[in-house]
Amino acid sequence: MFRKVEFMEKLLNDHMPYAGEDRIAEIRRLAESLGNLRVLHVNSTSYGGGVAELLYTIVPLMRDAGLDAEWHVIDGVPDEFFDVTKKIHNSLQGAQTPLGDREWCLYEDVNMKLAKAFPRGPWDVVIIHDPQPLAVLAFLDSVPESERPVVDRWFWRCHIDLSTPLDDTWHRLWPYVNEYDGAIVTSRAYARDEIAIPVAEITPSTDPTSPKNLPIPEDEARQMMVSFGIATDRPLIVQVSRFDPWKDPFGVVESYRILKKKWPDLQLAMVGSIAADDPEGIGILAKLKEDAEEDGDIHVLSNEDGVGAREVAGFQQCADVVIQKSTREGFGLTITEAMWKGRPVVAGNATGCKLQISDGEDGFIVKTTEQCAARIDEILEDPDLGARLGEKARETVRRRFLSTQHVMNYLNLFAGRL
Ligand code: UDP
């Protein structure tokens, strides 16, 4: 029921040009003081979405720092489990969709089975990401002691915007959270009163050395856009996201339609992937494709059209404006990635967007589709404004959201300093 994820080696030294020599030395010192710490990360998918993206960098960098870090995903669980956990995810973000008894039964039944099959370790630290495997720890009590994993410290890492959860779902889950030794949230704003264990704040990060972030030569990037049917001499706005209601894909199309009246040449690319643990995306993608059929300048593209990491980078790099019109967002890596590329980003008024963008300084925060269209219009009218916002955006990411900072924060947590 668990599968160990294989990943490419990553080296801290490759991050030196971005993070500086001192930061890398600091990480090595701290890791050394922790000894050969055995760390296990567990989440629900190795493909699609921000958590997988993060772990492909954080885990290998922890290893290079000297920790014995592994990443396992839950595996072989019924498809309906992910329908249920997506509903949990949505209602934790405020959707008015309580789960029924049968759904809770399935959630708990799978977590009980996961508890029985949990990798035995021994582990010094286990980090369980998000709600899918959250209840595992509570169910370990029902596993015979001789078959239980040996774990020193358990952390629950929540990537979700918990600022307005549906009470029904949250009250069912928080007792599971309090089984842990500590919780990790992206922002203190998500640390709800019911959480009685120590809470650490760690923001996610982007990897400047990943194919997602490496600059693509201009010619090649242009060629790439042409291969997806995009005209490179006309303005392009882009949203890169899972096809998820909280990313407000239809709001993006609406903003584009408002703009199209003034900018008849405007093109919109909606670039997304279907994550293995996100069954909801398929329906949204189909609906967006229907919209796109009526307008040749709306391009809806997914991994099925050959959009991989490098293509995502190409779209972010070539966009005149990057949109992330989320209504809820724990932390939008797509925003960080676009900011790192020096692009102006117009993002929704969600806590996770506001954690990254200071409105008017290094991007824009908008509340409505009309405002979104108006801010995009301002940037299209004044490319210098876009360049200024983009330049500051890159600096914000350099200061606060690089992977090395993220690893450092984890090490401080393991050392009991967070
Ligand atoms: N992503 C991707 N291909 C896509 C769409 C998204 O590789 O077609 C990546 C994106 O670049 C980012 C991550 O998936 O690294 C999405 O993370 P984010 O935090 O923005 O959102 P989440 O999906 O976790 O809600």
Q: Which atom of ligand 1 is nearest to the CA of 159?
A: 24
Residue 286, SS3 per DSSP = helix
Query: From the CA of 120, how far away is ligand 1's center (Å)?
Result: 31
Q: 153 and 252 share a domain?
A: no
- pLDDT given at position 418: 81
Q: 188 and 265 share a domain?
A: no
- pLDDT given at position 276: 75
Q: 395 and 410 share a domain?
A: no
Query: From the CA of 53, how far away is ligand 1's center (Å)?
Result: 7
Query: From the CA of 34, how far away is ligand 1's center (Å)?
Result: 32
Residue 211, in any domain of the structure: no
- pLDDT given at position 279: 82
Q: Which atom of ligand 1 is nearest to the CA of 307?
A: 8
Q: 196 and 93 share a domain?
A: yes
Q: 95 and 111 share a domain?
A: yes
Query: From the CA of 268, how far away is ligand 1's center (Å)?
Result: 18
| Domain span holding position 378 | 218-400
- pLDDT given at position 277: 77
Query: From the CA of 140, how far away is ligand 1's center (Å)?
Result: 32
How far apart, in whole angstroms, are the C-alpha atoms of residue 110 and residue 80? Answer: 10
Query: From the CA of 271, how far away is ligand 1's center (Å)?
Result: 10
Q: Is there an atom of ligand 1 within 6 Å of 49 CB? A: yes
Q: Whose CA is nearest to atom 21 of ligand 1?
A: 50
| Chain position carrying tokens 């704040």 | 201
Q: 367 and 234 share a domain?
A: yes
Q: Is there an atom of ligand 1 within 6 Å of 356 CB? A: no
Q: Which atom of ligand 1 is nearest to the CA of 247?
A: 25
- Any alpha helices (H) in 140-242, and if so which ranges? 167-177, 218-227
Q: Which residues pair with 2 in a beta bridge?
A: 74
Per-residue pLDDT tens digits for 6-24? 999 999 999 999 999 999 9
Residue 210, in any domain of the structure: no
Q: Which residues contact 229 (CB under 8 A, 6 or more apart)?
A: 299
Closest CA to 208 of 9, 397, 344, 407: 397
Residue 212, in any domain of the structure: no
Q: Whose CA is nearest to atom 17 of ligand 1?
A: 50
Per-residue pLDDT tens digits for 48-60? 889 999 999 999 9
Q: 122 and 233 share a domain?
A: no
- pLDDT given at position 274: 79
Specify whether the backbone of 363 is left (phi greater than 0), alpha (psi in -120 to 50) or beta.
left
Query: From the CA of 50, how far away is ligand 1's center (Å)?
Result: 5
**In this structure, what token pair is assigned to residue 105?**
């039964």
- pLDDT given at position 229: 97
Q: 248 and 373 share a domain?
A: yes
Q: Which residues contact 144 (CB under 8 A, 6 or more apart)?
A: none
Residue 22, in any domain of the structure: yes
Q: Is there an atom of ligand 1 within 6 Å of 363 CB? A: no
Q: What is the pLDDT along the chain (418 residues), one digit of tens a residue?
A: 999 999 999 999 999 999 999 999 999 999 999 999 999 999 999 988 899 999 999 999 999 999 999 999 999 999 999 999 999 999 999 999 999 999 999 999 999 999 999 999 999 999 999 999 999 999 999 999 999 999 999 999 999 999 999 999 999 999 999 999 999 999 999 999 999 999 999 999 999 999 999 999 999 999 999 999 999 999 999 999 999 999 999 999 999 999 999 999 999 999 998 777 788 899 999 999 998 999 999 999 998 899 999 999 999 999 999 999 999 999 999 999 999 999 999 999 999 999 999 999 999 999 999 999 999 999 999 999 999 999 999 999 999 999 999 999 999 999 998 8
Q: Is there an atom of ligand 1 within 6 Å of 270 CB? A: no
Residue 153, SS3 per DSSP = strand
Phi and psi for 178 in degrees, rounded to 5? Answer: -75, -5
Q: How many domains does the chain have?
A: 2
Query: From the CA of 337, how far away is ligand 1's center (Å)?
Result: 9
Q: Is there an atom of ligand 1 within 6 Å of 242 CB? A: yes
Q: 198 and 230 share a domain?
A: no
Q: 91 and 49 share a domain?
A: yes
Q: Is there an atom of ligand 1 within 6 Å of 333 CB? A: yes
Asked whether the beta carbons of 204 and 220 are under 8 A apart, the reply is: no
Q: 43 and 185 share a domain?
A: yes
- Tell which one of 186, 213, 247, 334 to mutate to probe ligand 1, the residue whose CB is within 8 A of the most ligand atoms: 334
Q: Which atom of ligand 1 is nearest to the CA of 329?
A: 25
Residue 76, in any domain of the structure: yes
Residue 101, in any domain of the structure: yes
Q: Is there an atom of ligand 1 within 6 Å of 240 CB? A: yes
Residue 125, in any domain of the structure: yes
Residue 317, in any domain of the structure: yes
Q: 169 and 225 share a domain?
A: no
Q: Which atom of ligand 1 is nearest to the CA of 335?
A: 20
CA atoms within 13 A on the CB side of 53: 28
For residue 146, the domain's CATH number is: 3.40.50.2000
Q: Is there an atom of ligand 1 within 6 Å of 348 CB? A: no
- pLDDT given at position 178: 98
Q: How far is CA 9 from CA 40, 56, 157, in A?
A: 17, 9, 23
